[in-house]
Amino acid sequence: MTVLKALREVLPGESFLYLGDTARLPYGTKSPRTITRYLQQNVSFLKSVGVKAVVVACNTASTVLKEAHLNGLPVYGVIEPGARAALAGTHAGVIGVLATRATVHSGAYEQALLAIRSDVHVVQQACPLLVPLVEEGWAHDPVTETVLHRYLTAPLEAHVDTLILGCTHYPVLKDVVQKMAGPTIRVIDSAHALAYEVAADIEAGRIPANGDGGGIQVFTTDISPSFQQLGSHILAPHAIDSWELADIRGD
């Protein structure tokens, strides 16, 4: 939803179809083999309902994304845009990555950063409690500050000057991370970087432009009132036009 919000802001004329695979969340604890299978099923579903491009708005799922096309559709992950935005501003060349255990384990950000600039030093930190803290609605809470303080210790001791929020839940925590990291550290979320890259591809004609007014339809793979509540809250002031159940088998 944080990625959808960025896309909505950058591309006000486009329509969005959001698929939340709530029946099989979280992806952060699953193996690459399983995540790849889920990703292919999800893209097939999106193709069947007629989208023109797919954004994989999840860092863990983005780590298994090896191609720029899936099922004949252009497909975007969040890793490379985040890496490019981090490199664009680092002076020290020391970049921290906060992410789920699976994203850290994949080394995807480190690889993406080093592929562009081989002399940067990357400090990865797995933060498995941040997603449940956001989902509990405790983003602005002393408990979250205590947990963040612990997660930030290693990156700050390594003197990072840039911190990548390597999970699409974390933009909700951006101001808290910024406060705890201090004003000299740049905090990067991939969502806006990605949205500008999609906008550039539409501008260049690599994806046809819509300009049809811009609705938001949401599909989920399970009924989830708490997801509906949190999703609407994150997306506000932008409204969701419809919520439907997507029957993605097989599970």
Asked whether residue 59 is marked as a ligand-binding residue, the answer is yes
Asked whether residue 82 is marked as a ligand-binding residue, the answer is no
Using rule CB under 8 A, residue 223 touches its own copies: yes
Asked whether residue 28 is marked as a ligand-binding residue, the answer is yes
Measured distance CA(18)–CA(243) in Å, rounded? 10
Q: For residues 116 and 143, which CB has a smaller minimum distance to its own copies in the complex?
A: 143
Asked whether residue 60 is marked as a ligand-binding residue, the answer is yes
* Near its own copies in 6-45, by CB under 8 A: 22-25, 29-31, 33-34, 37-38
Task: Return phi, psi of residue 120, to 5°.
Answer: -80, 155
Using rule CB under 8 A, residue 222 touches its own copies: yes
**Opening angle at CA 21, ends 15 and 22, nearest 5:** 120
Nearest to 124 by CA among 90, 164, 85: 164
Q: For residues 128 and 214, which CB has a smaller minimum distance to its own copies in the complex?
A: 128
Catalytic positions, please? 58, 167
Q: How far is CA 4 from CA 72, 88, 194, in A?
A: 22, 23, 10
Asked whether residue 2 is marked as a ligand-binding residue, the answer is no
Distance in Å, CB of 73 to its own copies, minimum: 22
Alpha carbon of residue 141 to chain centroid:
23
Q: Are 46 and 20 in contact (CB under 8 A)?
A: no
Using rule CB under 8 A, residue 153 touches its own copies: no
Distance in Å, CB of 137 to its own copies, minimum: 10
The only residue of 53, 84, 94, 135 in contact with its own copies, by rule CB under 8 A = 135
Task: Quickly count: other Cβ atoms within 10 Å of residue 81's Cβ.
Answer: 22
Element (H, E) at 68: none
Using rule CB under 8 A, residue 224 touches its own copies: yes
**Lateral strand order in the sheet of 94-99:** 121-126, 94-99, 162-165, 186-189
The only residue of 13, 132, 211, 215 in contact with its own copies, by rule CB under 8 A = 132
| Binding site per annotation, positions for substrate | 27-28, 59-60, 168-169
Interface ranges with its own copies (CB under 8 A): 22-25, 29-31, 33-34, 37-38, 101, 128-129, 131-133, 135-136, 138, 142-143, 146-147, 150, 222-224, 226, 249-251
